[in-house]
Amino acid sequence: MFRMIFIDESQRDLLRIIWKESSDDSIKTYKMNSVVYGTTCAPYLAQIVLKQLVMDNGHNYPLAASAVCSDMYMDDLLTGAADTYSAKQLKEQLIALFRG
């Protein structure tokens, strides 16, 4: 999930990785393009992206929007449906919502 959240180009200087292959190599600096798992901000960004996704497109996918708002924990969804047909509808809406 985190690798699917892209960092605005103006903010990429704030998230860098310093790398050195061996002690003889020069130091290389990389700017990250997406959220990195393990950073302090990653859980917050993951949750705010889900909320924004529902605000932007939830009206098109009401079953998915409801599940994302009430049944998500980070990138895990724990939900259910009354019958097989409803479960399939929910699955299809979730896929469509997450595709953006």
Q: What does the pLDDT look like over 62-77, one tens digit per residue?
A: 999 999 999 998 889 9
Say whether pLDDT at 38 is over 90: no
Give me the mean pLDDT over the 75-87 stretch: 95
Question: Quick check: 3 and 34 in contact, CB under 8 A?
Answer: yes
Tokens 């605000």 -> residue: 55
pTM (two decimals)? 0.76
Question: Quick check: 78 and 90 in contact, CB under 8 A?
Answer: no
Question: Quick check: 76 and 1 in contact, CB under 8 A?
Answer: no
